[in-house]
Amino acid sequence: MEKKIRNVAIIAHVDHGKTTLVDEMLKQSGVFRENQAVQERVMDSNDLERERGITILAKNTAVEYGDIKINIVDTPGHADFGGEVERILKMVNGVILLVDAAEGPMPQTRFVLSRALELGHRVIVVLNKIDRPDQRVLEVVDEVLELLMELGCTDEQLDSPMLFCSGRRGTASFSPEVEGTDLKPLFDTIVDYIPAPEDHDSEPLQMLVSSLDYNDYVGRIAVGRIERGVIRQNQELAVCNYHDAGGAVKKAKAVSIYEFDGLNRVPVQEVSSGNIIALSGIPDITIGDTICAPEAPEALPFVKISAPTMEMTFSVNDSPFAGREGKFVTSRQIRDRLARETLKDVSLRVTDVEGSDHCFNVAGRGEMPLAILIEAMRREGYEFAVSPPRVFMREIDGVLSEPIERVVADVPSDAVGAVIEKLSSRKGEFVEMTPVGNRMKLTFFVPSRGLFGYRNEFLTDTKGEGIMSSVFEKYDKYKGEVSRRSSGSLVASETGEAVAYGIFGVQDRGVMFVSPGTQVYAGMVVGETPKAEDITVNVCKRKQLTNMRAAGSDEALRLTPPRIMSLEQCLEFLADDELLEVTPQSLRIRKRILDHSLRMKAAKSKQQ
């Protein structure tokens, strides 16, 4: 008997419209009442996701289409969350590959598609945003077919059905010439082309945990597809892991079982094979564990969570302004918060720094997840300092190796020279150049270190019109020294309040980060200078008033507006001897050694 279920994941590059399309699928399948007010991108439930316009965590939802239940998994498109995508693909029987009709396939499209093809999934190709004025549908169709062949697809995968959609309008059609009226063609294709899960209800229970959720009330919630058997509430379970062959089988109990329905989780008494469910009640469950029947503990293989490629040091804030703005400032509070984060995010590693009880090394898969963690912590009232990011080196066959990323930059034709020159100076290897309309698509292999601090330069070089994305490619031999930053810092020489007169006397030396009225302390970075070395300046200097005044000496001071930097820009700006002080209200860049004379001595001894 065929199961009336379809399990499908939506995969795409960041910003190609996955979450918007899922919104429309939910609306058109009757999940919302007709008069219900629904916010845009309803699946991005977290504040940071809504502000940044990206999906951070994979979300599960389900819609009813006729008598068939379609389980939909909305996956992250950003490269740093790639491990999340790999595991989610284990839960589904087919994928919807979403490609922007103007941008075409991008690095993350290649990455997620190669994983889906390796698993032998059926693919439905959806060209989205066909209502864009700069769409180039026919060229993008060729690019998608070329990519499929390049990744070694089967003949059946090459003949995948292709639809043309506008996620924003909620329309789909089988031809680019015909404008659709709704998403019925997409729903029909999913039902007809994606295979239903096989019926294994009579066999012993087996379920692979593909993703985790966390709730303060019930702890970890395991999400996955039941491969075989039936799970019932309060049933005795066994938990084992494929990569831990000699490990003991743990006993557990199915406390609560939920099915997905629209945006809700519905508690159920029992669920049969082929369904995607959420299960609570197993405290130390982790991704990759297999939940089985106690009489037949048989672990399922899974992709090991990829090792982190980057780390930062989080430490207690020890600046002169420590404790003024934060609610949680001690090392115990910071340690507890980081430990809680590792329960939700299994790709994060937290270790204590040797010889220090107030510093912690936090390792992740890229700058993005670490920046999101920092932002989430400061919103919760934490105050701490972070070091510049560092990459993990590995010894492979006796050769020191470092992580290399595939970088694709879509730039105006007149910016090609500047981008190639800058990435080459950062040890980037130029791979290919493809014209796309009046723009160029450049591909490079660049060491992860070489990308630190480059995004700001890239936007300047392309006059804000460039689009750059990267995805981890491989470990390769160490490429040598990479210059991090060619500019120096303007460092405050005394503690106090920055005043207009002091800033006016300094601003011709570089770009200022502070405005009049900002509280500064000695050793804090207040600006950037184009010179290669740091300059100590006094922005608190006041005008000495005398009883003899020259005519014209009191003219208004013209100050250039300061540069206000986001969290990511601050992290990219940091030099090796600097830290970023993070509080709920402020981001301050500072020198590790605040005292000027001690800093000079340290620099001198380093040169020797």
CATH number (domain holding residue 233): 2.40.30.10
Task: Please indicate, yes or no, if residue 386 is contained in any of the structural domains.
Answer: no
Q: Tell me the mean pLDDT in the region 214-239.
A: 82
What's the pLDDT score for residue 59?
59
Strands 264-268 and 511-512 turn out to be unpaired
Question: What average pLDDT does this structure show over 256-278?
Answer: 82
Do 182 and 274 meet the contact criterion of CB atoms below 8 Å apart?
no
Confidence of residue 604 (pLDDT cuts 50, 70, 90): confident
Both 492 and 471 in one domain: the answer is no
- Return the pLDDT at 303: 65
Enter the tokens of residue 204: 């012993």
Do 63 and 161 share a domain, yes or no?
Answer: yes
Query: Does any domain span residue 83?
Result: yes
506 lies in the same domain as 570: yes
- Does 109 fall in a domain? yes
The DSSP element (H or E) to which 71 belongs, if any, is strand 68-74
Structure confidence at residue 372 as a pLDDT band (50, 70, 90): confident
What is d(CA 310, CA 571) in angstroms, rounded to the nearest whole number? Answer: 13
Task: Check residue 86 and give its pLDDT.
Answer: 66
Q: What is the pLDDT of residues 349-365, one digit of tens each?
A: 899 988 888 899 999 87
In a domain, 306, yes or no: no
| Winning range, highest mean pLDDT, from 13-27, 455-469, 504-518 | 504-518
Residues 185, 211 within the same domain: no
In whole angstroms, give the CA distance from residue 80 to residue 555: 52
Which position has the higher pLDDT, 25 or 34?
Answer: 25
Q: What is residue 292's predicted lDDT score, i.e. its pLDDT?
A: 85
Q: Within a domain: residue 311? A: no
Indicate if the pLDDT at residue 582 is higher than 50. Answer: yes
82 shares a domain with 23: yes
* Same structural domain, 16 and 107: yes
Q: Do residue 493 and residue 473 come from a single domain?
A: no
**pLDDT range class, residue 496, cuts 50, 70, 90:** very high
Region for residue 82 given its phi and psi (left: phi exceeds 0; alpha: psi -120 to 50; beta: otherwise) = alpha
Whether residues 18 and 56 share a domain: the answer is yes
Q: What would the pLDDT profile of 418-460 be if each residue is shown by its tens digit?
A: 999 988 888 889 998 888 777 888 899 999 888 877 877 788 8
Residue 318: pLDDT band with limits 50, 70, 90: very high
Q: Choose the weakest-confidence range: 26-40, 81-95, 166-180.
A: 26-40
Statement: residue 246 has pLDDT above 70? no
**pLDDT at residue 385 tops 90:** yes
Q: Which of 11-25, 69-83, 399-413 has the highest mean pLDDT?
A: 399-413
State which of 222, 257, 292 marks the end of a domain: 292
Most confident of 83-87, 117-121, 166-170: 117-121
pLDDT of 157 above 60: yes
Q: What's 102's DSSP letter?
A: T
Question: Of all residues in the chain, what percent carry a pLDDT higher than 70?
Answer: 88
Q: Looking at residue 520, what is its pLDDT?
A: 94
User: What per-residue confidence (pLDDT) applies to 43?
Assistant: 42
Let me know if residue 562 belongs to a domain. Answer: yes
pLDDT at 47 over 80: no
CATH number at 514 reads 2.40.50.250
Task: Please give the residue that has the higher pLDDT: either 379 or 286.
Answer: 379
Q: Are residues 473 and 504 in the same domain?
A: no
557: left (phi over 0), alpha (psi -120 to 50) or beta: beta
Q: Are residues 91 and 220 in the same domain?
A: no
183-189 CB contacts, 8 Å cutoff, 24+ apart:
183/24, 183/25, 183/28, 186/25, 186/96, 186/124, 186/126, 187/25, 187/28, 187/29, 187/65, 187/70, 189/124, 189/161, 189/163
Bigger pLDDT: 262 vs 503: 503
More confident residue, 513 or 289: 513
Computed on alpha carbons and rounded to an integer, the radius of gyration of the chain in Å comes to 27
pLDDT of residue 76: 61
What's residue 491's pLDDT?
94
Q: What angle do CA 457, 458, 459 make, to 5 degrees?
A: 90
Is the per-residue pLDDT at 40 higher than 70? Answer: no
Predicted pLDDT of residue 245: 62
Amino acid residing at 552: G
The answer to whether residues 251 and 147 belong to one domain is no
Q: Which residues pair with 405 in a beta bridge?
A: 446, 472
Domain end point (choices 124, 158, 193): 193
Do residues 173 and 189 touch, judged by C-beta distance below 8 A? no
Q: For 162, phi and psi rounded to 5 degrees?
A: -125, 130
- pLDDT bucket at 310, cuts 50 / 70 / 90: confident
Top mean pLDDT of 204-218, 287-301, 392-406, 505-519 is at 505-519
C-alpha 380: how far from chain center: 20
Q: Which pLDDT score is estimated for 364?
A: 84
Residue 340 falls inside a structural domain:
no
422: helix, strand or coil: helix
CA nearest to 553, candidates 501, 499, 506, 516: 501
- What digits encode the pLDDT tens for the residues 123-136? 888 888 888 887 88
Q: Nearest CA to 457 among 426, 479, 482?
A: 426
Q: Which pLDDT does position 57 carry in this prediction?
A: 42
Q: Is the pTM of this model over 0.85?
A: no
CATH number for the domain harbouring residue 452 = 3.30.70.240
Is the residue at 352 inside a domain?
Answer: no
Confidence label for 335 from pLDDT (cuts 50, 70 and 90): very high
Residues 145 and 14 in one domain: yes
Q: How many Å apart are CA 118 and CA 579, to the nearest integer?
A: 43
Last residue of a domain, one of 432, 449, 477: 477
Domain count, the chain: 4
* Mean of pLDDT values over 7-11: 85
Longest dimension (CA), the chain: 100
Structural domain containing residue 236: 206-292
CATH code of 47's domain: 3.40.50.300
Residue 34 has pLDDT above 60, yes or no: no
Mean pLDDT of the chain: 81
| Per-state percent for the chain, helix, strand, coil, to nearest 5 | 25, 35, 40
| More reliable by pLDDT, 393 or 34 | 393
Q: Using pLDDT thresholds of 50, 70 and 90, give the confidence band for residue 229.
A: confident
